[in-house]
Amino acid sequence: MEKKLSYKGPVVLVVMDGVGLAPDGDGNAVKKAHTEFLDFALENYLNIPLEASGEAVGILKGDMGNSEVGHNALGSGQIIKQGIAQVEDYFTSGKIYEGETWRRLIDNVVKNTTSPKPKTLHFAGIFSDGNVHSSISHLERMIERAAKENVEKIRVHLMIDGRDVPPQSEPKYINRLEQFLEPFNESGKDYKIASGAGRMVAVCDRYENDWNMVKLGWDMMVGGVAENQFTSALEAVETFRKKDPKIQDQYLPPFVVVDENKNPVGKVEKGDSFIYYDFRADRAIEIAMSFTYCDFPYFDRGAYSPDDVCFAGMTEYNSDTHVPALTLVPPIKIENALNTFLGKNNISELAVSETVKFGHITYYFNGNSYEKAPLEEQLKVESDTLPFNTRPWMKSAEITDLILDNLEKYQFIRVNFPGGDMVGHFAELEPTMVAMEAIDLSLKRIAEKVDELGGMMLITADHGNAEEIADSNGNPKTSHSLNKVPCIFYDNTENRAKYYSKNLKDAGLSNVAATLALLLGLDNYPKDIWREPLISIE
């Protein structure tokens, strides 16, 4: 049995979203920022670097981590095969085409039409090979299979990336898809790109921060309406680049592809099938709600009814409400999450962040569930809707105020500071430095109160980003990194001398849950399910 620790004050878990460990360099905004507290903590307290990408968080080897899988690992204490790794298994085995959902989607457009005009199979999702939300290879494989099953008409709607891949790389993906579609069209099929928009402009809102983004995407795909019309997706991107050579793909305006008569080539119409092929939920759930909810208050869908379109997601985007009902890959079930364990042990807990990462520190941390444990509370600060590089401090101060107001009320507090990730995605040095400096000031404020109360603070991250906002050639890098993340045991109590690092060879985010259990004085954590703690107690 482990020896037990006991703190007078709270144990605080701080997730510095998107803050990894890397040597100093031109693209390392973490090192370049003035972060007096963080620098001191890294030098003077136990720090155990953690793996936060690839197989350590249940995805493919060599793939960058992300906030979803990172928080799943932190909160579940387990390495769960998920995201692209799970989906790849379904494609490789062919199980994705054997399920009832695929059959319904295909039969809906092939067998159930009484009109001479063929019904359309639509695809939409974040369009790249970034493998964080989706993969273009999944799109290609489904198109190829649909062709074999006699689907005559396919339309693709592009949620243009430039965030998990280089910021101006979109022409490469458009050309790849156009070349892929060409043989099908030569054989008599009708397969086209129908519309597109930057992922930070249309469709891909998250946590209901800006439903207007979703409406813009709805109007583009379903209404065939956008301010910009072009004869091809490539023409759209080239035109936008001429107007603003620096514009990143993720901010490209919505556009609709039209024919020679200026008619949209691919509106979503009654009787069609629609596959949203993202396997990550946070930027997919709202468009899924738009297509599937009967009672829908967020914007006017016109005469649309959920019965009009056979809609499916790559997987389930909300495990509590089971949205969407039709999925190509069954949802992951995560049991024995940390919050549930703490609830069973009568530990009071609080989760805090701002809107853009609130779902990560709650839903994903709690094993893909919105259900709160006994004695668990969650507090949210509303995020700005303007670009985060224009206010890179984000809501760090407001989040900190909430924590300071509640530190004495809870035994365990977890918080996510989004700035390293949300500002880091712009790949701009000065704003990302400011984001880090705002987080550093917040850490210092929390630390002072934690010391006063006799508690401790575990400071880590869910993945890297801000430490690598330029590649080896100095080009802007908007995607996450493969770097390890810190795990700092900020502790000025007598307990600090009672524990030491186990020096685990494969220490990763999933070792944090058991570590927190020990710090909270609990040695009855599920040892047969959770990965072992990072520390031993003397």
Which value, to the nearest 10 degrees, does the dihedral of the CA atoms of residues 60, 66, 67, 73 take? 30
Structural domains of the chain, count: 2
**For residue 508, what is the domain's CATH number?**
3.40.720.10
Say if 376 falls within a structural domain.
Answer: yes
Instruction: Considering the candidates 53, 67, 128, 319, report the single residue annotated as catalytic.
Output: 67
The answer for 73, left when phi > 0, alpha when psi is -120 to 50, beta otherwise, is alpha
- Closest by alpha carbon to 304, among 274, 262, 275? 274
For tokens 């936008």, the residue is 240
Query: Are 80 and 333 in contact, with CB atoms under 8 Å apart?
Result: no
Reply yes or no on whether the pLDDT at 299 is more than 90. Answer: yes
Residues 6+ apart with CB under 8 A from 405: none
Q: Is 67 a catalytic residue?
A: yes
pLDDT value of position 321: 85
Choice between 115 and 421, residue whose per-residue pLDDT is larger:
421
Determine the average pLDDT of the residues in 441-446. Answer: 98
Does the pTM of the predicted model rise above 0.75? Answer: yes
Q: Examine the domain organization and report whether 67 and 95 are in the same domain.
A: no
Say if 225 falls within a structural domain.
Answer: yes
Q: Examine the domain organization and report whether 74 and 113 are in the same domain.
A: no
Q: Examine the domain organization and report whether 113 and 199 are in the same domain.
A: yes
Q: Examine the domain organization and report whether 222 and 354 are in the same domain.
A: no
How is residue 152 written in tokens? Answer: 């005559």
Say if 323 falls within a structural domain.
Answer: no
Reply yes or no on whether the pLDDT at 40 is more than 80. Answer: yes
**For residue 162, what is the domain's CATH number?**
3.40.1450.10
Determine the average pLDDT of the residues in 464-484. Answer: 94
Which residues constitute the domain of residue 175? 84-313
Q: Examine the domain organization and report whether 295 and 374 are in the same domain.
A: no
pLDDT, one tens digit per residue, over 327-363 is: 999 988 899 999 999 999 999 999 999 999 999 999 9
Rounded to the nearest 5°, which phi and psi values hold at 74? Answer: -60, -45
- Closest by alpha carbon to 465, among 508, 417, 428, 425? 425
Determine the average pLDDT of the residues in 371-386. Answer: 95
> Mean pLDDT score of the chain, rounded to an integer?
95
Q: Examine the domain organization and report whether 131 and 70 are in the same domain.
A: no
Q: Examine the domain organization and report whether 278 and 208 are in the same domain.
A: yes
Say if 322 falls within a structural domain.
Answer: no
pLDDT value of position 112: 67
Query: Are 320 and 248 in contact, with CB atoms under 8 Å apart?
Result: no
Determine the average pLDDT of the residues in 405-433. Answer: 97
Look up residue 67 and give its amino acid.
S
pLDDT value of position 500: 97
Q: Examine the domain organization and report whether 295 and 350 are in the same domain.
A: no
Distance of alpha carbon 315 from the chain centroid: 14
Q: Examine the domain organization and report whether 489 and 523 are in the same domain.
A: yes
pLDDT, one tens digit per residue, over 189-243 is: 999 999 999 999 999 998 888 999 999 999 999 999 999 999 999 999 999 999 9
Helix ranges restricted to H, 21-169: 29-32, 36-44, 67-76, 83-93, 100-110, 136-148
Bridge-partner residues for 500, per DSSP? 536
